[in-house]
């Protein structure tokens, strides 16, 4: 059974929205926050805000472990570099992660661990 689906009595619940906080221990002060909304089976990372340290490769891996590793979902996000907004897509195939890059097509990122 999909871990995003929960049945209690006559009710079936589906997790379609998450809030993540970058913090070592729940309840402590956090320095990063993100909302993730799952629409038609595709997670969209929204409202990602991080104080120092900035969003890093390790942060990206945490999102990938959750969305791809735990739930097998591809996901989309937007990145702003030098004032230019870029749409990114991430897909998983055979425990490997790929990102679509304009002009390069699908590029292998890493294995899911």
| For range 61-84, the mean pLDDT | 81
Record: fold of 17-111: Aminopeptidase (3.40.630)
Contact assessment for residue 40 and residue 29, using Cβ atoms and an 8 Å cutoff: no
| For range 92-96, the mean pLDDT | 67
Taking the domains of the chain in order of start, what are their residue ranges?
Answer: 17-111
pTM for the whole thing?
Answer: 0.72
Of 6-10, 28-32, 35-39, 108-112, the poorest mean pLDDT is in 108-112
Under the banding of pLDDT at 50, 70 and 90, the label for residue 84 is confident
CA distances for 16 relative to 11, 38, 45, 50, 69, angstroms = 15, 5, 12, 23, 17
Please report the pLDDT score of residue 24 as a whole number.
92
Contact assessment for residue 20 and residue 30, using Cβ atoms and an 8 Å cutoff: no
């Amino acid at each position: 059974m999909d871990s995003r689906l929960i049945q209690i009595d006559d009710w079936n619940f589906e997790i379609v929205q998450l809030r993540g906080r970058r913090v070592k221990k729940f309840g402590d002060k956090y320095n990063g926050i993100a909302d993730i909304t799952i629409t038609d089976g595709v997670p969209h990372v929204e409202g990602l805000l991080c104080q120092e340290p900035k969003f890093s490769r390790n942060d990206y891996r945490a999102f990938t472990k959750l969305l791809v590793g735990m739930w097998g979902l591809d996901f989309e996000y937007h990145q702003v570099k030098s004032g230019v907004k870029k749409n990114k897509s991430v897909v998983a195939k055979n425990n490997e992660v790929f990102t679509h890059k304009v002009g390069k097509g699908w590029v292998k990122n890493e294995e899911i661990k």
